């Protein structure tokens, strides 16, 4: 009986390992990273450029969302659809020449279903011409850390890597407008003529993965199923890019697995916060106080494996601080190390407020008294 049980358990283990390996072979590339971090949690061929189907529209949509964020496009503005915008193929909001649609409805269609006609109509309204729009898209990409030149504003046939998609996804995750619409699962665009266009997000993770708030998907027969996804739980946010999945199911299963593994095994730990003392009641001499709290100037959070222990501190301070102390002048430093000895961060320490010496305080007191007494 024991021998049979061992055989069964071995078979199950081999099946699970084979399933995970097969899933990786059914995806061209993937990568998952924390928001605004250079730490890679898991990746496969993440720096190679690939065709990514309709996800090439992400830079254009991001540029328009940032224009909304900055107030360059009024969401209530009524935009007249040009013949050129109405003729754009691919995913579509089914806009008609000369109809008028509110900017926010066009933005909704651009983010939710990457509607090319809505993207083009918004770009004409905001930037006047495709050339100007294209230059702004390239500036948007450069600001996100992606230096490329696009042949046209929708980026058709452009190649990107997973790492580049994550950088663009980070910028999108920082855009209130982008997140506002990427979280929506279903909406209806009502045309002036009475027609209605249903907008259904292709991102199934919005309903199946807790914490998923977007971001952008695309697919084609040649490029496979691609996407950039963002998932937030508590204070931790991860971004995941998937390129070339064989079908929609594999795309979402791959992203789900990567997210769940990241949340299960890693956590963000805040090790310094300028609003909280890094060191409490450090001794000081020559002042009317015996101790002072010391602070860092910057907030620092690090990604740690949950199996590791707490970061180790190393403090570099004199045995006793001597007044006067200036809040703009460091009195020492504090360093944090991982359990493997890796330096996580080192920051200077400052008093929160000025600490005057007893002698100076007494002189100041006498000076004020003499001034008041004439």
pLDDT digits (tens, 9 = 90+) for 106-115: 999 999 999 9
330 neighbors 348 (Cβ within 8 angstroms): yes
Mean pLDDT computed over every residue of the chain? 89
Domains of the chain listed by start with CATH number: 28-269 (3.40.710.10), 273-360 (2.60.410.10)
pLDDT digits (tens, 9 = 90+) for 328-362: 999 999 999 988 888 988 999 999 999 988 765 55
Which pLDDT does position 235 carry in this prediction?
A: 82
* pLDDT at residue 16 greater than cutoff 70: no
Instruction: Give one DSSP letter per residue of 39-76, joined into a string.
Output: --SEEESTTS-EE-GGGGGHHHHHHHHHHHHTTSS-TT
- pLDDT band per the 50, 70, 90 thresholds, residue 39: confident
What's this model's pTM, rounded to 2 decimal places?
Answer: 0.78
Residue 271 is encoded by which pair of tokens? 């090790």
Q: What percent of the chain has pLDDT over 90?
A: 74
* pLDDT at residue 44 greater than cutoff 80: yes
CA 276 to each of CA 114, 270, 273, 294, 323: distance values in angstroms, whole numbers, following the listed order: 44, 11, 5, 9, 22
pLDDT digits (tens, 9 = 90+) for 232-288: 998 889 999 999 999 999 999 999 999 999 999 998 888 889 999 999 999 999 888
pLDDT digits (tens, 9 = 90+) for 56-81: 999 999 999 999 999 999 999 999 99
Q: What is the dihedral of CA 92, 97, 102, 108, to 10 degrees?
A: 10
Strand partners, 198: 188
Which pLDDT does position 210 carry in this prediction?
A: 97
- The interaxial angle of helices 130-143 and 162-173, nearest 10 deg, is 100
* pLDDT at residue 177 greater than cutoff 90: yes
pLDDT digits (tens, 9 = 90+) for 116-139: 999 999 999 999 999 999 999 999
Residue 346 is encoded by which pair of tokens? 């080192």
Q: What percent of the chain has pLDDT over 70?
A: 89
């Amino acid at each position: 009986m024991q021998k049979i049980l061992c055989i069964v358990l071995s078979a199950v283990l081999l099946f699970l390992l084979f399933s995970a390996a097969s899933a990786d072979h059914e995806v061209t590339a993937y990568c998952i990273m924390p928001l605004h971090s250079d730490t890679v949690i898991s990746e496969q061929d993440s720096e190679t450029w690939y065709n990514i189907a309709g996800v090439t529209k992400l830079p254009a949509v991001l540029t328009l969302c940032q224009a909304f964020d900055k107030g360059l496009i009024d969401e209530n503005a009524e935009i007249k659809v040009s013949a050129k915008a109405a003729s754009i193929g691919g995913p579509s909001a089914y806009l008609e020449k000369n109809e008028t649609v509110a900017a926010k409805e066009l933005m909704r269609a651009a983010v939710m279903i990457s509607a090319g006609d809505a993207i083009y109509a918004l770009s004409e309204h905001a930037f006047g011409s495709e050339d100007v729009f294209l230059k702004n898209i390239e500036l948007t990409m450069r600001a996100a850390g992606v230096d490329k030149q696009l042949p046209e504003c929708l980026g058709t046939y452009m190649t990107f890597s997973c790492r580049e998609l994550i950088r663009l996804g980070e910028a999108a995750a920082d855009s209130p407008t982008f997140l506002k619409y990427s979280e929506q699962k279903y909406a209806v665009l009502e045309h002036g003529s009475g027609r209605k266009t249903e907008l259904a997000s292709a991102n199934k993770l919005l309903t199946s993965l807790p914490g998923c708030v977007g971001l952008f998907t695309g697919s084609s027969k040649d490029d496979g199923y691609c996407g950039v996804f963002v998932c937030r739980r508590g204070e931790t946010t991860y971004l995941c890019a998937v390129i070339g999945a064989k079908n929609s199911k594999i795309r979402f299963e791959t992203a789900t697995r990567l997210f769940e593994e990241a949340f299960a095994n890693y956590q963000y730990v805040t090790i310094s916060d300028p609003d909280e003392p890094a060191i409490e009641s450090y001794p000081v001499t020559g002042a009317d106080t015996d101790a002072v709290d010391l602070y860092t100037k910057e907030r620092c959070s690090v990604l740690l494996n949950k199996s590791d222990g707490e970061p180790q501190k190393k403090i570099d301070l004199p045995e006793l601080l001597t007044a006067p102390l200036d809040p703009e002048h460091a009195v020492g430093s504090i360093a944090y190390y991982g359990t493997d000895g890796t330096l996580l961060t080192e920051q200077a320490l400052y008093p929160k407020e000025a600490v005057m010496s007893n002698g100076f305080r007494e002189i100041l007191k006498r000076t004020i008294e003499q001034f008041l007494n004439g």
